[in-house]
Chains A and B, each alone.
Chain A
């Protein structure tokens, strides 16, 4: 494992901000035992099956995939809420340690924004209490606590903050609640936000406002973010880079323009083609996302792959490899990468070499 690890990190950052990654996943694996998928029995589910992913300082990375692809699990691992069963998480180049003191220090710098702002706030706590919570946990009661809370609320776009302090979550709109959650993270002056579907449960008009807030925070505070989402439009709206996840593995990554404008992996292509606004004919993959307890051999996407099914992979001479050879794990860096035999063979010059 250690050799492959160095392999994937030899490549210097190609595009973007030209800095070493602030937060990175290195060959992260998470396996769950016992009942996991609906209707399934016992067995080991490989929710995350070897993922490299870097987030550079000031960078917004979108982790895109369908439900059950492992993006939420990976986000939890990056937050230290879940311990990987293989590989490691590195922050500022050094591996994450899970001792309680190390963890506390880490959690001041990497913060979480959840999907459902209603559930993320304790209904019995006022806005003030919800925002001050992180401060109390880390620093006890500070003399300038109230100012810090007001400042965080203002940064999160709740102005004037005084109006919101004494309110309870049920008196706020969904967008305001999500801003309170973000303020609760900002009060600790973190460097990275890990957001899991931050706008999925919000109204359309509020969605754009919250996304703009994330962009503003990046511009004003230099905040990095990893956003796990099923929404490709969100990636187009705010992310610098995108990593597409399928069945526990990143199958394609690169800048948003590269991946979303010229997708190379058949899965990414299918995802983009079924968007309501897509120009091309939709490629509707049959069936449901497959079971992480039974990862197919060879390329994990091959049983649903339209390229293989149409015989195009055969023509390119890679069909056998699709069925038998698992494509190499993609590096976590900024360069364009695709985990697909067909794409590598078919478009050798353009894709896969950056």
Chain B
């Protein structure tokens, strides 16, 4: 009997332990979600969640700025969620689907319409109107690039411009002059061929710009066209054929890198031929310039995208990123104040510097410009150069842009690998792309 009672006790004790473990586990699981709704309680305590993606440097700098904000506003408690770009959108989509979205999101122009039209994002117009977010003296275009049907969905922290980078050391070695500010596509092609001829076996004049939609965008602007007109394609088959043929010729002559080398590149500057030392030029944006400089053994120069042969500049600058507030945020007002701090506060600007591009606020831009080193200053200069040439700001991209971009790249490579003829590839683009948009 005693023995059994002991066993019985042991069982009870175990049962209790298991319960405790389970309850603790469930409670721990639940915690994450609770904290989101806990803000705005009676004692003036506010908690905000902010999510972004990017490099380690961006993470540290942003964290520093947020720490400063919490110091200045002891009632605000900010929790951060940052990941690499690859994981960021999966995570965010899941959070939104689960009703657990952060208060503030670092939006991307590539998915802004998707999120805005799915009613995920809050109209920031009222906060701009009542001065919570101050955009006085800002250029209008970057804000227009976050506006859909008259509703403002984001405040861009930074700007950048389409840019071409080149291996300045190599050009000097080969005795070839770097590009001028207003060079043309013909001059570009000549230069690429000249470099390839002088550079010898296995060295190419330029990375292949064919798969990049930014190159198409500039090319179309020079023809007075757009990538998109609303949710429709803004170009015709012939435009793409002309552009792809241009790159096909360069590849054939060994002036642009072959397709297999190009696909290996991915989107990272560290894999670019300019950094790896097998190509002299690459197409990128001014915000990547300092990365190219940091990664390259030699000097890296920055130039404009080539102009049209008739002299049409077709230059592009962007506000490709924005701080947005989610509709489900219980503390939208506080979130708006934090956004204002991040984009307009002078101390925050000093901490954040150019981690999201050249600051969008003109006054912060000047302050940061004075503080950064010479290399970074060149990305400020580049933006001005681009702006000086009647440049366009990348407008809001339609929903389905990501799918369009994938299709565009895939078909370009079908052509580049010789698996499809130019006509087949472009015709497929023109027939499939419209169905992806809108």
Chain A complexes with chain B: no
List A residues at the B interface (Cβ < 8 Å).
none
List B residues at the A interface (Cβ < 8 Å).
none
